[in-house]
Amino acid sequence: MFKQTIYRWAFGLAVGVLTAVSYAQWSNPADDVPAYHTSAPLKVSSLPPILAGSKLTGENFRFPWQVHVYQQAARIGNVIYQLPCYCRCDRALGHTSLRSCYEGLHGTECSTCAKEAFFAYRETKAGKTPAQIRAAISRHEYESIVLEQQ
């Protein structure tokens, strides 16, 4: 009887510890920043290209803002390489930064990615550094962007 009690107690403790450890990664949402690179890429040519030209047509590009955001993203590829994407495509799609969203079609279907890229372009043109833009994005300042007005 005593041995069973010890086993039950040890099992309960083990389950409790495992549960606490598995949730520890979500313990401080403020520290939960999506993937990004801390500096510009050493060789841009080694990165997948941002979609451009004739690839910006078809069913996925029904609205003018969808083409426009890809054009702007291509102009600031080094900047968006250094920015996180708060749609969490790093978890769902394995993206390594906001730039990854524009190497494929994800930027056409996700309003978070599009708003962040438009915001990054505007802030870059205003003279902000990638670190300053990253801080503003973490404060969700991009949410004020209206896609239909871009």
- Check if the beta carbon of residue 109 is closer than 8 Å to that of residue 60: yes
pLDDT for 93 beyond 60? yes
HEC per residue, 60-87 = CCCCHHHHHHHHHHHHCHHHHCCCCCCC
pLDDT for 66 beyond 60? yes
Q: How far apart are CA 35 and CA 91, in angstroms?
A: 9
- Check if the beta carbon of residue 34 is closer than 8 Å to that of residue 88: yes
Q: How far is CA 102 from CA 6, 15, 31, 129, 144, in A?
A: 56, 42, 25, 20, 21
pLDDT for 54 beyond 90? yes
94 vs 23, higher pLDDT: 94
Q: What is the pTM of this model?
A: 0.78
Q: How far apart are CA 145 and CA 147, in angstroms?
A: 6
- Closest to 136 measured CA to CA, from 147, 122, 146: 122
Residue pLDDT, tens place only, 105-145: 999 999 999 999 999 999 999 999 999 999 999 999 999 99
The residues, any chain, with a CB within 8 Å of residue 84's CB and separated by 6 or more, are 33, 34, 35, 36, 90, 97, 98, 134, 137, 138
What is the residue extent of each domain of the chain?
A: 1-32, 33-149
Q: Which pLDDT does position 7 carry in this prediction?
A: 58
Tell me, rounded to whole angstroms, the distance of Cα 16 from its chain centroid. Answer: 32
